[in-house]
């Protein structure tokens, strides 16, 4: 299949750069942590340089340290106990590969006070970000074509967040958790690096803008339009797929069963309602008449009835409840929940796409299937970051 690619000149995204740096033309600001009273320890093999994010003034600790602790004293940000004259501090490792907790990161860092909370932000090359996300969002052993499809989806998603950053007015573009995309820094995997390199700067677009390229593990054959969500399909028609994916049928979580003892279910309910839940008499689900999807779960107890939305059940019973499509009932001394799919049913179905690769589909064909009404675009820049 001939892959048609348009060009997307990324001057509109250059606002993402706070300052000059040696990264490639587009960088991503990833929120690693946020604390009211920060305590973070960073380690770099050859130490660090420091400067003010606003006026670019450089600071010295009086000695070179390859390990620094960020803390707070008297309302001032401190590095190894030395008070900094700014609450917006840029930290450059003199050699890449900075360790935080158990992860190692490319790029450099911003510590900034935002809405009364200190944010630790990793500023990293966009292609290195995409490669890092594949570590956690891809699966070991997946072939090159599958990783290429996922790389384009990950890149499209983060460029959407870059574009949207102006509206949010936050000091970061994206979080490092599955609230957005899971990001844990540096690692080595040849096939995933090839996938990123071979799709470099390639994104999916709609209306000449990056798309919100959501994806989940297994859609269970559920149409996105049938899912209770806050997506505006008029703004994101590419997520309103009108045909099902049945390619994931062979995966183990296409259909699943979760079982809880009555006591275990009561305790989990108490975490949601923050109160005592009495003896459970019955469990049932209410379906949406228009599409048959789960609307609510009703738990009848000896004292009162509780109603939970499908999304609440998915969120709070997530250990075993894999998706928003399920049935629930009480059987003897257990609560049995049966369902289909693993995730939120939006965008690309990863295990469906994996099967499509085995059937001979190319990465671009897969993406066009899961994100209809989109166009491939190549991100280009006419300036260096910070110019």
- Cβ atoms 261, 334 nearer than 8 A: yes
Taking only the tens place, the pLDDT of each residue in 117-146 is: 999 999 999 999 999 999 999 999 999 999
Write phi, then psi, for 324 (nearest 5 degrees): -95, 0
Residue 105 pLDDT > 80: yes
Decide if pLDDT at 270 tops 80.
yes
pLDDT for 24 beyond 50: no
Question: pLDDT value at position 142?
Answer: 97
C-alpha to C-alpha distance for 85 and 91, rounded to whole angstroms? 14
Is residue 21 predicted with pLDDT exceeding 90? no
pLDDT at position 22 over 50: no
Q: What is the pLDDT of residue 230?
A: 81
Comparing CA positions, the residue from 312, 366, 368 lying closest to residue 146 is 366
Structure tokens at 123: 């500023």
Q: What percent of the chain has pLDDT over 70?
A: 91
What local confidence, expressed as pLDDT, does residue 317 receive? 85
Q: Which residue has the higher pLDDT, 386 or 329?
A: 329
User: How sure is the predictor about 6, in pLDDT bands with cuts at 50, 70 and 90?
Assistant: low
* Residue whose C-alpha is closest to residue 329's, from 293, 299, 294: 299
Top pLDDT among 225 and 248 is at: 248
Sorting pLDDT into bands at 50, 70 and 90, what band is 288? confident
How do residues 27-61 score in pLDDT, each as one tens digit? 999 999 999 999 999 999 999 999 999 999 999 99
User: What's the pTM?
Assistant: 0.89
Q: Which helix (H) or strand (E) holds 191?
A: helix 190-198
Sheet containing 375-380: give its strands across: 5-9, 375-380, 202-206, 209-210
pLDDT tier, 11 (very low <50, low <70, confident <90, very high otherwise): very low
Across the chain, what does the average pLDDT equal?
90
Has residue 2 got a pLDDT over 70?
A: no
């Amino acid at each position: 299949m001939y892959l048609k690619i348009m060009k997307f000149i990324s001057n509109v995204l250059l606002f993402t750069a706070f300052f000059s740096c040696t990264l490639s033309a587009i960088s991503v600001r990833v929120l690693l942590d946020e604390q009211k009273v920060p305590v973070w320890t960073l380690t770099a093999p050859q130490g660090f340089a420091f400067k003010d994010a606003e006026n670019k003034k450089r600071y010295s600790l009086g000695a070179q340290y390859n390990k620094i602790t960020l803390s707070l004293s008297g309302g001032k940000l401190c590095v190894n106990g030395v008070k900094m004259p700014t609450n917006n501090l840029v930290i450059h490792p003199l050699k890449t590969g900075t360790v935080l907790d158990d992860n190692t990161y490319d790029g450099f860092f911003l510590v900034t006070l935002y809405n009364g909370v200190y944010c630790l932000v990793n500023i990293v090359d966009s292609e290195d970000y995409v490669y890092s996300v594949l570590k956690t969002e891809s699966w070991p052993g997946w072939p090159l074509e599958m990783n290429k499809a996922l790389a384009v989806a990950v890149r499209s998603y983060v460029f959407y967040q870059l574009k949207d950053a102006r509206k949010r007015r936050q000091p970061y573009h994206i979080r490092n958790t599955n609230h957005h995309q899971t990001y844990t820094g540096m690692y080595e995997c040849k096939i995933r690096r090839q996938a990123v390199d071979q799709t470099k700067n390639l994104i999916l677009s709609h209306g000449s803008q990056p798309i919100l390229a959501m994806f989940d593990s297994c859609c269970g054959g559920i149409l996105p339009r049938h899912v209770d969500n806050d997506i505006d399909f008029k703004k994101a028609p590419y997520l309103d797929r009108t045909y099902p994916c049945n390619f994931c049928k062979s995966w183990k979580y296409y259909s699943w069963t979760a079982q809880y003892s009555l006591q275990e279910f009561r305790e989990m309910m108490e975490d949601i309602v923050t109160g005592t839940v009495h003896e459970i008499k019955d469990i049932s689900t209410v379906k949406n008449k228009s599409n048959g999807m789960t609307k609510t779960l009703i738990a009848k107890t000896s004292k009162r009835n509780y109603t939970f939305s499908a999304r609440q059940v998915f969120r709070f019973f997530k250990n075993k409840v894999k998706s928003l499509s399920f049935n629930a009932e009480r059987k003897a001394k257990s609560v049995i929940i049966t369902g289909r799919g693993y995730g939120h049913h939006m965008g690309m179905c990863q295990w469906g796409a994996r099967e499509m690769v085995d059937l001979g589909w190319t990465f671009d064909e897969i993406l066009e299937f899961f994100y209809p009404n989109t166009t491939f675009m190549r991100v280009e820049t006419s300036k260096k970051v910070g110019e």
